[in-house]
Amino acid sequence: MTLDMTLDMTLENQMTDTAIQKSVYLPAPKTRVWDFLTKADLLGNWFHPAQEDLAEGEDYLLTSQKDGDRMCWGRVEEMSPHDYMKWSFTVGPMEGVMTTVEWRLADAPGGTKLTLEHSGLPNNAEAYGLVLALDKGWHGFLLNLHDMS
C-alpha cells in the first residue's frame, strides 16, 4: 500500500474500538429514565426530538429543535425495557458510517445509574475532533437528564 492509498482510506476503514463511556446518577426510577430514552415526546427534552417512539428493530431519526434538520439516525438494534438498549448511530460528519451506542440502566439508592457507551469511533488524528465533539455532546446531553420533569 502506498502512502497515497493510505491517505485516501475512508472513515469507515478507520473505525475502531475507540469508545466514549459516561455514567450519570439520576433521582428517578429506571422506568422514568427509560421513558426519557425511548419516548418521542420526551427525547427532545434532553437530547433531540424524535418523530416516533423508539422501538426494537426500527430505524430512528432525531432532529434539531431549531429547524428540524436531521441530527442523528440509525436503528434500535436491541431493547430490554428498563435495563438495556443498543443503537446503531451516525451523524452527518460521519458520512453514514455507523457506530454503536449502548445504554445501561441500573438501580441505585434513590434513583438510577445510567451508563452510556459509544463505541466504534475513529482512531486517527484527522477524526479526533469528531470524537471530542461527540464526547462533549454526550456530556451535556446526559447532564440535561438531571432536569427530568
Residue range 63-113, pLDDT digits in tens: 988 888 899 999 999 999 999 999 999 998 888 899 999 999 999 999 999
Contacting residues for 14 by C-beta, under 8 A, at least 6 apart: 122, 123, 124, 127
| pLDDT score for 127 | 86
| pLDDT score for 64 | 87
Q: Which amino acid is at 97?
A: V
Task: Answer positive or negative: Cα dihedral of 35, 81, 118, 91.
Answer: negative
The whole-chain average pLDDT of the chain stands at: 89
Domains and CATH numbers, the chain: 18-147 (3.30.530.20)
pTM (2 d.p.): 0.86
Residue 3's pLDDT band (cuts 50, 70, 90): very low
- 5-14 average pLDDT score: 43
46 membership: H or E segment, kind and range = helix 40-46
